[in-house]
Structure 1
Amino acid sequence: MNTICSYFQRLAVAAPLSVLAAAGFGGYAFAGSDIGTNASPLSIPPALPATPYPDSGVPEGYFFNLRPIGKPLGQYLADHGVYLTGRTLQQAIGVTNGGLKTGTVYEGFNLFGVDLDMNKIAGIQGGSFHFLVNELSGLPLQGFTGSFFAYNRAFALQAGVRLNEFSYEQNFGGIVDVRVGRVPVGTEFDTERVYCEFLYGMCALPAGYVFSKGYPPYNAASWAGIAQVKLPHHLYFHAGIFEDEPSLATIGHWGWPGEDWSPDKVRGATIPVQFGYRTTFKDDPYPKSYAVGGYVDTGDYVDPIANAAGQNRLLAGGAPRLDHGKSGVWVQAEQAVWRPDMTTNRALTLFAGGNVQTSGEANIQNAYFAGLSFNGPFAGRPYDTFNVVGEAINSSSAYSSFIDTSLNLRHMPGISPHEAFIEVNYGIALAPGMTLKPNFEYVWNPDLDTIPHPVSSDRHVVIMGVAFTAFLPETLGLPRLGGGG
């Protein structure tokens, strides 16, 4: 254990510093970016509006406008270096056909926090501090659907209140940015802004990444260090290290200072890197993003099927084998292909990506997805969005053996290891930063992961729901650190 802790601590220092050393400072400024530095997917809006947010009045495409309410207070606080941030996500989800059982669940997520500009507060140029708290209530969906991988947007651990982030960020000349502390998985690895438009299976991060990495989900936080480098010609490089801390899923204080902040809870580290190219509407009439990345997880985890002797433990008995280490790679692409009005950001964007395990015994062997997002589909509704995504998830042979053995012991046939789903949703803009999103999902071959009593008759699921989201800065006209809002 001391070796693992020592290894993690050395990497936590070395990773950001090595990126700083490699970057130089070459005089290149940051290209205009609509993605905040390491912002949590739950604390940024899913897409920029087709036209700028209005500060007064109710323009065509909105039903009302709350921005005048918060703008004076927000500007006063921002002048003193304090930026309020947060969001709410409320979902009503119904399984109407198939699955383990039909029925309706509710799940709600609320996030609130502050970003502090340390230049205004303490004269530290390029410095900022981030504090986020979240609250999750309601029930997860897999008890109805039988699908752990086609999860709903607010899914994570159990209901409760969590410390979502407690970190310090330092920007060096608009070229290198480093963040350290208790950090959630954010926008820098295996995600694009368009992913935030979806409510199932993508959840801002593809399932192939969410269920393979060792560190916690994005509404929890662990010790981490992340370095980002802006390169010339719209290129960038990201590297990070996150502690693997399984106890975050079981202990009761949900990430607040306590036993989980101790180094003796570290069980390895997940080390992701990503290299990519990204443009925005600020510098490209047809914005695009292409990226490749990968990770190494040094942590220990329970083998999907084997006991300590390498046998099928459901048949031979014995304690689960403890596996060590795994790795994976990903590719992703996003491209605006059509703009009906070049004077606004109304655009049809196509995207695709894939995740492949390269070592270890993760439950997902590979996953691939593709879809489209139309920002401003109608001239009279420039702030609405129409979104479609399809994803195929292939279970590993070890995990498939576990599920099939579980079913065979109950005299049931096995199931397909190939799960797939399609989601269609339409975002109705109610007000700046506030959206009502009816949605539909169809799942083929639910994976039955974590289901105590799986049944092979669960071959499909039909899901219908509606989600309400509001982003505090956009909705209330509050400035955002870095010029947003």
Structure 2
Amino acid sequence: MSKMRYGLYLGVTALAGVLCLDPRSAHAQAVPSAAPFDPIINFGQTLKNNGIYFDAAYAYDFAAVVSGGKENGIMPIGHFSTAAVFDLETILGIPSASIHIGFDQRAGIPIEGIAGNTAGLITSDQGPFQIRLGYLYWEQGFWNDRLDVTLGRTNPTFDFAFSDISCTFVGQICAQPTSWYGNNLNGAYPISEWGGRVNFQVTPEVYVRAGVYQHQFNPPFPYADHGFAWWPSTPGAFIPMEIGYQTSYKTAQYPAKYDIGGYVDTAIANANTFIGGRNARGAWYAQGQQAVWRPDRNTNQSLWVFGGAITYTGNSGQWGQYYGGLFTQGPIYSRPRDTAGFIASLYVNNSQINPAFNKEYDFELNYGFSVIPGITFKPFADLIVNPTNGGTPAGTPPVQYHNAWVLGFQVAIDLGQAFEWPTFVPH
């Protein structure tokens, strides 16, 4: 699956049948192209013939705290994204070169505020009705794309500690472990900064990757920014690295992805006032996802197990996060594009910073109904045990909220899948 399409969904939706970069569907449940839509379908192919790849998507999350937490209530969030890739080899004859651009618009209210939680729920990426630049970068391949370099307005969200299975969950991890975003000053998608990464394929399955990103100054409410204020920055850099192994539905009977890595954040921002003089923060992580059942290699029907761990330095807000779960593609034979998933996460908070809430447990169960290709309806249930309540003002007694139940659904629409538009694959 292309990064462009992941960028369309990040944090709010997931695609059925696209794990491990292979969007083929299986056996039944196919929907033939309707003749009235042929001009729209042909539009994507025409763009491809001219070196342009386009996609657009919208996701709507409806979530409600129905029990426990700080209070009960309903918090909806809408997320529209659009992106394009310009294949410069086709357009200008520049070998293995492309330009990637994406825009994002979000509007809604964060559910975590009333759940009494600031550690685990990701349905908190609310924003005003503001269209912002999500990324704009150059990608260049060398040696038949064995070496691949990106440079421009970007972020490490797609390239480090990334898990495509994680993005099938509505209120849990996507794309990195959720604690990643609160323990460094690097901006996650759709916030971009100057930077880039280098990826080297040691073998077709094994890669080594490293990047450097300048910290971008963000306004108090970053989603309200248009994304074109490119020059304000804050001192420090974000330096991630990773080594991994990955196969796909096309290359293996039981595809898998394993990665280990870490980062150093040199920003002058010390979350732990008990450790004077230590400003830089860092982390180490290990992740894995493995298909353990796949009855027919000609289809994507499969069962996966996945899990991971990330640990932080002592001057971060948390000691670590540990998670695991199950994911199935095509849980019902006659509905191969449907998905189902379960995840459990443990957040171990830094007891020096938040002694009253040293652990939080988050769980999610969901089922994704594929209405037609490109349109998914996904009901979900989240349970937050011992909500962290990390937002308690300093000097005030901590408030212990009851365990929170969050119920809701997500509706996701991907025009590229619905109209069979081609996706960009590097040469």
Q: TM-score, normalised by structure 2?
A: 0.90
Q: 2:166 corresponds to which residue?
A: 195
Per-residue deviation, 1:380: 0.8
Instruction: Work out whether 1:267 is the aligned partner of 2:223.
Output: no
Give 1:70 shift.
2.6
Name the counterpart of 2:215: 244
- The answer on 1:70 being equivalent to 2:24 is no
CA contact (8 A) 1:40 1:184 kept: no
Q: Look at both structures and tell me which one has the larger radius of gyration over its CA atoms.
A: 1
Measure, in 2, the Cα distance between the counterparts of 1:301 and 1:158.
27
Deviates more, 1:215-224 or 1:159-168: 159-168
Correspondence 1:431 to 2:372: yes
Q: Is the 8 A contact 1:87 1:111 kept in 2?
A: yes
Deviation at 1:446, TM superposition (A): 0.8
Asked whether 1:328 is paired with 2:283, we answer yes
Unaligned residue ranges in structure 1 (runs of 5+): 1-33, 311-320, 402-414
1:385 aligns with 2:339: yes
Aligned pairs for 1:53-452 (under 5 A) are 60-61=28-29, 68=38, 70-153=40-123, 155=125, 160-172=130-142, 173-232=144-203, 234-250=205-221, 254-258=225-229, 261-262=230-231, 265-306=233-274, 324-357=279-312, 359-401=313-355, 415-451=356-392
Report the CA distance shift for 1:110/1:276 in structure 2 as closer, same or farther (over 3 A). same
Residue equivalent to 1:48:
17
Q: Normalized per residue, which structure has more helix? A: 1
CA contact (8 A) 2:71 2:115 kept: yes
Structure 1 position 49, deviation (Å)? 5.3
Q: Which letter maps to 1:295?
A: Y
SS at match of 1:73: helix
The 10-residue stretch of structure 1 (268-277 or 223-232) with the greater mean CA deviation from structure 2: 223-232
What is the Cα deviation at residue 302 of structure 1?
Answer: 4.4
Residue in 2 that maps onto 1:4: none
1:53 and 1:474 in contact (8 A); partners too = no
* Alpha-carbon distance, 1:272 to partner: 0.5
CA distance in 2, matches of 1:212, 1:467: 28
Q: 1:150 to 1:450 in 2, by over 3 A?
A: same
Give the distance between the partners of 2:210 and 2:417, measured in 1 at CA: 29
Q: Distance in 1 between matches of 2:126 and 2:278?
A: 23
**C-alpha distance in structure 2 between counterparts of 1:455 and 1:104, whole Å:** 24
Number of equivalenced pairs: 418
Looking at structure 2, the residues matched to 250 and 273 of structure 1 have their Cα atoms a distance apart, in angstroms, of 29
> In structure 2, how many angstroms separate the alpha carbons of the residues matched to 1:241 and 1:85?
28
1:222 Cα deviation from its structure 2 partner: 1.1
**Could you tell me how far 1:282 is from its partner in structure 2?**
1.1
Q: Deviations over 1:361-412 (max 9, x none)?
A: 11111110000110000111111001000000010123214xxxxxxxxxxx
Partners of 1:37 and 1:93 lie apart in 2 by: 27
Given that 2:254 and 2:292 are in contact with CA atoms closer than 8 Å, whether structure 1 keeps it comes out as yes
CA offsets per residue over residues 426-479 of structure 1, 9 Å max, x none?
A: 000011122110000000011112255885330310000000112231122111
CA contact under 8 A between 1:38 and 1:188: conserved in structure 2?
Answer: no
* 3-state secondary structure, aligned to 2:152: strand
Letter in 1 for 2:295: P
Q: 1: CA distance between counterparts of 2:8 and 2:141?
A: 20
Q: 1:454 to 1:222 in 2, by over 3 A?
A: farther
Judging changes above 3 Å, is the alpha-carbon distance between structure 1 residues 192 and 52 closer, same or farther for their aligned structure 2 residues? Answer: closer
Is residue 463 from structure 1 mapped to residue 418 from structure 2 by the alignment?
Answer: no
**Could you tell me the TM-score, scaled by structure 1's length?**
0.80
- The one-letter amino acid paired with 1:352 is G
| Contact 1:41–1:204, Cα closer than 8 Å, also in 2 | no
In 1, Cα distance between equivalents of 2:170 and 2:118: 14
Cα 1:287–1:304 shift into 2, 3 Å: same
CA distance in 2, matches of 1:153, 1:97: 17
> Structure 1 pair 425/45, CA: closer, same or farther in 2 (3 Å)?
closer
- Asked if structure 2 preserves the Cα contact closer than 8 Å seen for 1:429 and 1:436, the reply is yes
* Offset of residue 178 of structure 1: 0.8
Query: How much has 1:266 moved relative to structure 2?
Result: 2.8
Identity %: 24
Q: What is the rounded CA distance, in whole Å, between the counterparts of 1:142 and 1:216 in structure 2?
A: 19
Cα 1:207/1:400, change in 2 over 3 Å: same
Q: 1:341: Cα distance to partner?
A: 3.1
Q: Sort the Cα spacing of 1:454 and 1:462 in 2 relative to 1 into closer, same or farther, 3 A.
A: farther
- Does the 8 A contact of 1:117 with 1:129 survive in 2? yes
- Given that 1:114 and 1:132 are in contact with CA atoms closer than 8 Å, whether structure 2 keeps it comes out as yes
Q: Distance in 2 between matches of 1:276 and 1:240?
A: 15
Q: What displacement does 1:40 show?
A: 3.1
Distance change >3 Å, CA 141–CA 62, structure 1 → 2 = farther
**Cα shift at 1:226:** 1.0
Distance change >3 Å, CA 143–CA 253, structure 1 → 2: closer
5+ unaligned residues in a row in structure 2: which ranges? none
Query: C-alpha root-mean-square deviation of aligned residues, in Å?
Result: 2.8
